[in-house]
Structure 1
């Protein structure tokens, strides 16, 4: 018997799992009231905007991957693009070599709210008020603020007071940061949600008409108006150490809507793994599987040095291709068919030897070799970036900024399932928009200020995000959704979890409780965009023998704090209708519920 920190949740009615117990309970409450997985996902996600404001917000972004019972897997892309004024010339005229990790120049069109409304309208059954009421209540009446959130606000209080006064008003009311676990209220945010509901209800009794009215109110009504009024005069201090004006306009918001896409997928040991497209980092997990298919992982110890080394080296190769070739396929040629081909990955797998690589080794795709060369040169540069102001949090830093983004997985009794990794628009990304109770996002930091790349800043182009939920189906009828926050680490932690689940038949919870690791070798997606050749991080539970064995192979090993790496959640449906769910014990926030 495998002992775990928590029981694996099992039932037949429904399961909801997310990175905060309140949000998971809200999702389950929608299922209990007769809603489906899509209703529950929207209610969970909007609640996460309230209870984890340091990790996501209404003006952020979200990809969702989902499957309606008996139908094909689909993706909702609510990663909105750069505004029309986000030209390379304008940003270079500011004297920048990197887009700052915070502030108005880092802002793209807000996407998350419209994405959730699209899901609710087309696939949900409940009304706008029913799914938003829990979030409205928690924002209006208060929720026990996480110690991590309270500490984050306390650490930024002086910065807010000096540079971002609207954020000081919201996050430090009365000039004081909230005490850990004290009730925290955001009345402006509650009123924003309530006004959107009221606008919807004014459109009549039809739920679809209500949702569409709320979407319009967001993109052209009072929300867009408040953002436009704020940006008209705002000059905001950002991580570059200077003040900048934004380029987002009301017209940008009015001209964009979330969209549906087909998933990318790859077959691995009976499982078909579905991911979002190359505007995310999702395909990197598929590439890693295509490389690892050529190695006998099942013969290795899942907690041993051979397994860790082999997976780390595969990650380096897959992520090098991410940095060289991924981007918005609407704007650039992204060679995904080549990157997932058997011939290509047979050759890539041969590059894994007994020693850790210290090189950046993107593959050579015919006709696009210049992109590989550009990445190798870029990864070697020192951008001289400061790190003095709020930006994207990342667990790799292991500070009070650790843990970035949120995640949810939900399956209902009918077999509908959703995985989503919402992010952006967090409290440290930008000042709060006056009257709205939330800040804008900072996703534009993913772009490069260099010509000719799939990730070059350009109006209308989506930034290549790290957000990457997963859905997998098996030939025996099993289906599951899973994911994690974690920036560049998201697909690394998901890969380790998935491999242990597939090759060693470990339960969902046991896979999460097992120690995790990740590489920092490749160039990071977030300001200041560092690459750390041969460096990796792992949890101390692997033991000294494994740690020293990896160092002997040439890895530069950083040992993390115990129980600090990864925030995975997952849910699975068996062919007979049995449901299973699990959530990581790390950070003591994520919970799975169900019956």
Structure 2
């Protein structure tokens, strides 16, 4: 394997002086707990919950409920997933609260409507709601407080809170779409007929229907307790009301009224899953991600590839470093785009092979040290788990050569060299939020909840915005045979929290918003800490780069909306001229921005001193509180 250290080009090596970097926001310190999320009010909800005596799971659920009530990046009808470190068992567990495709959501159904992918917005974009079930499951099984205690900040907000400019302006921008849905129009357009129909920044935004739904959930808990049920049973009584009771009936009625497919049976059959996370060891650190119904294993694959190179010796954001990471991410994304999908529905994916160190070494050999490889395609991981690849013909029909002694080439429909326009970048970065919580007992939670973002279609009088995650399915098996839409199946999503253990103890927990950029930014954040010695706040703010050489997972209903853009790279504005010139010579097409680091939120565990360090991005409204 040709090592990049023997590259023929000259690179600007910039070994990172970690202690010298000044951050725009201070690092957070806490002895007892840490609460970080994408909204200041929601971080306060987490702090309030800790002050009530709750653990990190309680606080994470309170922050989740609060962010869902604030609408900008998600709402109550969306989806949730989490990695949780349980100090009692000393294990990381994964919570899968992703909704599924409803009855009638078939390839033929969408193709007959003229779609290349399921739609971005409206009732036909909706999977079954996962967030309420995920929250209730986590709280019942791993929290300590009552549902009423955990939901009290969200209920107070639903009764009226000063809406932030970001959400208020999103409503105004999306008001034409919002007017297509009667229940959304009633909630969001507080000044109908005026020039600005959305709320003003700071206006007290009231959600009577959502408040009633949350009160019904708490009432179910109280009734169950009066009947002699224990805490867990009482919380799950609220679950039954959401998925089988009057809340479910109104959700289904209004979804179908507005043209959706979700049925009562869909809601009753769905349930959150507790899963084993996937893990690889990178230089003594165990890194955990959710299973391949998310893009999370892509980060693990990239780490396995990068373990074959001296990244620290290259220097932080040197040409060699950027090129190596770009190529490694492209290799992992090519596998993600073809092999990842819901493991509970459809064919069994080759995850053992994809995550093997031997497969990573073979993939690393494909990296060309002097230029960008525009022809990177999916590999053949099946021999690395003792199986025969059943998709050889499909891959060859698509135009890929799997023989690693030959150069892969990308088929024509994968290739485009247009510079990313604003719509493409919006789809690449399409945001959600992140939730990080940790406590002195050792509980740690990392989440990237999403779905039901603005402009959202509200499900009747539930006050809940419906998910838009159906768009992450494909309708063409030549793109990905594992992620073809089918009733009862979960889409392969971008949502991807991270957790890392060192010496058997929590080391880092992190998550980030941003669609397909999530694991790109989390990978670089992790390397900022482990390879370049940055503290957790420095690592969240440090300049990253993004590759566009991948299939987009969100946005656009035409194939051309989502095609890879080989060689396109987003760099930070402060990238040196020398690095820019060298990358251009290697075949890269450069674009620049000031926002290239996430936003990442994270917790670092300082076992030497017995404290917690929090990092909260300097982009957007992300905010953390420690004590």
Question: What is the match of residue 421 of structure 1?
Answer: 448
Counterpart position of 1:239:
none
3-state SS of 1:286 partner: helix
CA deviation digits over 1:22-78, x for unaligned, max 9? 111211221122110110010010001122x13111111111001111421100100
Q: Shift in Å at residue 479 of structure 1?
A: 2.2
- Measure the CA separation in 2 of the matches of 1:537 and 1:549: 15
1:35 aligns with 2:54: yes
Shift of 1:371: 5.2
Structure 1 counterpart of 2:601, from 553, 561, 569: 569
Alpha carbons of 1:542 and 1:184: their partners in 2 closer, same or farther (altered >3 Å)?
Answer: farther
1:482 and 1:49, CA in 2 relative to 1: closer, same or farther beyond 3 A? same
Measure, in 2, the Cα distance between the counterparts of 1:396 and 1:26: 34
CA distance in 1, matches of 2:541, 2:210: 36
TM superposition score normalised by structure 1? 0.91
Q: 1:364: Cα distance to partner?
A: 2.3
Check whether the contact 2:69–2:76 (CA below 8 A) recurs between aligned residues: no
Q: Does 1:489 align with 2:517?
A: yes
Task: Tell me the matched-pair count.
Answer: 569
- Residue from 532, 546, 564 that aligns with 2:579: 546
Q: Which sits farther off after the overlay, 75-84 or 259-268?
A: 75-84
Question: What is aligned with 2:323?
Answer: 309
State how far apart, in whole Å, the 2-side matches of 1:463 and 1:250 are: 20
Q: Deviations over 1:163-217 (max 9, x none)?
A: 2232221111131211223332222212211121112211225322321111001
Contact in 1 for aligned 2:353/2:381 (Cα 8 Å) = yes
CA contact (8 A) 1:478 1:575 kept: no
* Contact 2:528-2:534 at 8 Å conserved across structures: yes
**Structure 1 CA distance, aligned partners of 2:56 and 2:577?**
43
The alpha carbon displacement at 1:450 in A equals: 2.3
Measured in 1, the distance between the counterparts of 2:23 and 2:415 equals 44
Q: Residue 18 of structure 1 corresponds to which residue in structure 2?
A: 37
SS in 2 for 1:215: helix
Q: Tell me by how many angstroms 1:383 deviates.
A: 13
SS in 2 for 1:441: coil
Mean alpha-carbon deviation: is it higher for 256-265 or for 357-366?
357-366
CA distance in 1, matches of 2:412, 2:121: 24
After TM superposition, list the pairs within 5 Å mapping 1:269-418 onto structure 2.
269-330=283-344, 331-353=346-368, 354-366=370-382, 367=389, 368-370=391-393, 372-373=395-396, 380-381=412-413, 397=425, 404-418=431-445
Kept in 1, the 8 Å contact 2:429–2:517? The answer is: no
1:372 & 1:583 partners in 2: Cα distance? Answer: 42
State which of 191, 200, 219 in structure 2 corresponds to 1:198: 219
Shift of 1:373: 4.3
Residues of 1 paired with 2:212 and 2:246: CA distance? Answer: 12
User: 1:121-132 alignment to 2 at 5 Å?
Assistant: 121-132=140-151
Structure exhibiting the larger radius of gyration computed from Cα positions: 2
Please give the alpha-carbon distance, in whole angstroms, between the structure 2 residues aligned to 1:82 and 1:258: 14
Mapping 1:446-595, distance limit 5 Å: 446-451=472-477, 453-475=481-503, 477-528=505-556, 529-560=562-593, 562-563=594-595, 565-576=597-608, 577-587=610-620, 589-595=621-627
CA–CA separation in structure 2 for the residues paired with 1:395 and 1:45:
28
Evaluate the alpha carbon distance shift between residue 370 and residue 280 of structure 1 in structure 2; reply closer, same or farther with a 3 A threshold.
farther
Question: Aligned partners of 2:597 and 2:615: how far apart in 1?
Answer: 16
Q: 1:426: how far off?
A: 1.6
Deviation at 1:549, TM superposition (A): 2.5
Go from structure 1 to structure 2 and tell me whether the alpha carbon gap of 1:485 and 1:375 turns closer, same or farther (over 3 Å shift): farther
Q: Give me the whole-angstrom Cα distance separating, in 1, the residues matched to 2:415 and 2:184.
A: 29
Structure 2 unaligned runs (5+)? 1-18, 383-388, 401-409, 417-421, 557-561
After TM superposition, give the deviation of residue 451 of structure 1 in Å. Answer: 4.3
1:158-173 to 2 correspondences below 5 Å? 158-161=176-179, 163-173=180-190
1:402 is displaced (CA, Å) by 5.8
Q: Deviations over 1:349-405 (max 9, x none)?
A: 112122112124111234133454466689743899xxxxxxxxx997269x96511
Q: Give distance in 2, aligned partners of 1:155 and 1:374.
A: 43
2:183–2:458 CA contact under 8 A, matched in 1:
yes
Q: 1:507 to 1:396 in 2, by over 3 A?
A: farther
Contact 1:379 1:530 in 2 (8 A): no
Which region of structure 1 is more displaced relative to structure 2, 272-281 or 14-23? 14-23
Q: Give 1:119-198 correspondences, 5 Å limit.
A: 119-143=138-162, 145-161=163-179, 163-175=180-192, 176-198=197-219
- 2:238 matches 1:214: yes
1:249 match: 263
In the other structure, the counterpart of 2:7 is: none
5+ residue gaps, structure 1, are: 235-244, 385-393
Q: Secondary structure at the match of 2:413?
A: coil
CA shift for structure 1 position 128: 0.6
Q: For the Cα contact (< 8 Å) 1:9–1:592, is it kept in 2?
A: yes
Over the aligned positions, Cα root-mean-square deviation in angstroms equals 2.2
Cα distance, 1:102 vs structure 2: 1.4
Relative to structure 1, the CA distance from residue 218 to residue 396 in structure 2 (aligned partners, 3 Å threshold; closer, same or farther) is: same
CA 1:291–1:371 in 2, change beyond 3 Å: closer, same or farther?
farther
> How far off is 1:524 after superposition?
0.6
CA contact (8 A) 2:174 2:454 kept: no
